[in-house]
Amino acid sequence: MCTVCGCRSGETRIEDGAEHSHGHHAHHHRHYGTGDAGASVPGMSQSRLIQLEQDILSKNNSYANANRRYFAEHGIFALNLVSSPGSGKTSLLVETLKRLGKTHACYVIEGDQQTTNDADRIRETGVPALQINTGKGCHLDGHMIGHALERLATKDGAYVFIENVGNLVCPAAFDLGEAHKVAILSVTEGEDKPLKYPDMFAAADVMLLNKTDLLPYVDFDVEIATANARKINPDIKVLTVSAQSGDGLEDWVDWIGTARAELFAGCSATDAAE
Amino acid sequence: MHEMSLCENILGILLDEAASQNFSKVDRVCLEVGPLSGVEPEALRFGFDVVTRGSLAHGAQLDIFEPEATATCAACGTTAVIQDRFDPCPSCGSHLLKIKTGEELRIKELEVS
Ligand SMILES: Nc1nc2c(ncn2[C@@H]2O[C@H](COP(=O)(O)OP(=O)(O)OP(=O)(O)O)[C@@H](O)[C@H]2O)c(=O)[nH]1
Ligand SMILES: [Mg+2]
Ligand SMILES: [Zn+2]
Ligand SMILES: [Zn+2]
Ligand SMILES: [Zn+2]
């Protein structure tokens, strides 16, 4: 249960931001479809057919679209990092923030089933971070991100990095409102992962091949991994990086800057056209 | 686990519809689940029974319609049925396929009273 707005959010717990006060709680996101569950009308008992044609994820998509609007209105560039557990999402974020955080306002939303370890690691870099614990839940959803954004009090023009729960399966289906999903695959996991978990690599716009410092010790062919990802997603951008040695991180940080510029260039172009 | 949370989404939609369309019981739910939706129909059935227990959809019949996955090839223009996302174009072998159908994850219709 969300203690702020009373929305039912199962076992999810969002860390309390330090300056968060319920008194002037801004609740920028609307709640979608919270109809009164108890409403029933006596005397209407004949069976009837309702054609619905409604997407099962429509509620999540509404929350995600509200987040996307919020990002657009505030000039925020948001990325959703997805991978299996231990591929190096937090390590890469820490290294990214050491480079980007010096010159730009950055925020991190961390998703894990339990512990605040990852948010603690991010905060050590001086960047504000908020931990969401999903309990048994295996992915972040648009609603959780909406609440996290209220608590982060993000500056306009900031970068927001969302580290999803380590899971190569269902985070693919849940739009959070991000500009891009970034899939991280470490070289110790095998080059066949894009074929085994195609939905994730279809949903991502970028694949970071991480832990390249370990390439001399493992049987992993970057070309094959790239070809496999492109069988699923011909347009996917592939970058090789090592959070450990720093190799490739400049290209990654450059990509972030370019993707941000492209997103907002597109926005002002459509604004001007309207 | 994923299917469980999808079933909670389904129940949420049923509760909303019950309020807006004035019904108190769901007798049948018809879903469309494409082979590329990432969802296992059997797991969905299991989750549905668990999640709807004691709700307005307790004991409802669950029909799952599984449409074919199709894709159009950007290299040769062929539209064909595929089984998996990594399948090549059956006529030219290219992987430049644009998925047309198969990602559906929808409630098609409800029988309510
Ligand atoms: N050799 C090497 N180890 C790395 C690299 N990046 C991360 N690691 C190690 O991999 C382990 C997991 O890294 P994390 O950054 O915690 O991975 P994660 O994806 O955030 O993990 P979860 O949040 O638990 O899913 C740690 O022991 C890291 O030190 C790398 O580039 N090279
Ligand atoms: Mg982590
Ligand atoms: Zn809420
Ligand atoms: Zn999940
Ligand atoms: Zn073809």
User: Could you tell me if the CB of A12 is within 6 A of ligand 1?
Assistant: no
A61 alpha carbon, distance to own chain's centre: 14
Helix (H, G, I), strand (E, B) or coil at A10: coil
Q: What is the pLDDT of residue A9?
A: 55
Q: What percent of chain A has pLDDT over 90?
A: 77
List the structure tokens of A76: 């925020």
Average pLDDT, chain A: 88
Q: Which atom of ligand 1 is nearest to the CA of A85?
A: 25
Asked if A117 has any chain B CB less than 8 Å from its own CB, the reply is no
> How far is Cα B110 from Cα A53, in angstroms, rounded to an integer?
10
Which tens digits make up the pLDDT trace of A217-273?
999 999 999 999 999 999 999 999 999 999 999 999 999 999 999 999 976 544 444
Predicted ipTM of the assembly = 0.89
Query: What is the pTM (predicted TM-score) of this model?
Result: 0.88
Residue A17, pLDDT > 70, answer no
List the structure tokens of B66: 């599984």
Integer angstrom CA distances of residue A245 from A87, A91, A92, A100: 15, 11, 11, 17
User: Which structural domain range is residue B59 located in?
Assistant: 3-112
Q: What is the pLDDT of residue B5?
A: 86
Nearest to B17 among A41, A52, A138 (CB): A52
Number of A to B CB contacts under 8 A, please give it.
127
* Amino acid sitting at position A113: Q
- Mutate which of A91, A122, A124, A215 for ligand 1? The one with the most ligand atoms within 8 Å of its CB, which is A91
Q: Where residue B68 sits, what CATH number does that domain have? A: 3.30.2320.80
* Residues A120-133, mean pLDDT to the nearest whole number: 97
Asked whether the beta carbons of residue B108 and residue A51 sit closer than 8 angstroms, the reply is: yes
Residue B51 burial (C-beta neighbours within 10 Å; 0-12, 13-18, 19+): buried
- Place A105 in a pLDDT band, splitting at 50, 70 and 90: very high
Give me the residue label for tokens 């409802």: B60
Q: In the 8-state DSSP scheme, what is residue A18? A: T
Residue ranges of the domains in chain A?
60-273
**What is the number of structural domains in chain B?**
1
CATH class given for the domain over A60-273: alpha beta
Task: For residue A233, give how far its alpha carbon lies from the nearest alpha carbon of chain B (Å).
Answer: 8
Provide block-wise average pLDDT over 10 residues at a time, chain B (113 residues): 86 96 97 94 94 96 97 97 95 96 97 96
- Closest C-alpha residue for ligand 1 atom 29: A91
Substitution target in B4, B8, B9 with the highest count of A β-carbons within 10 Å is B9
Q: In the 8-state DSSP scheme, what is residue B31? A: E
Give me the residue label for tokens 């980007």: A100
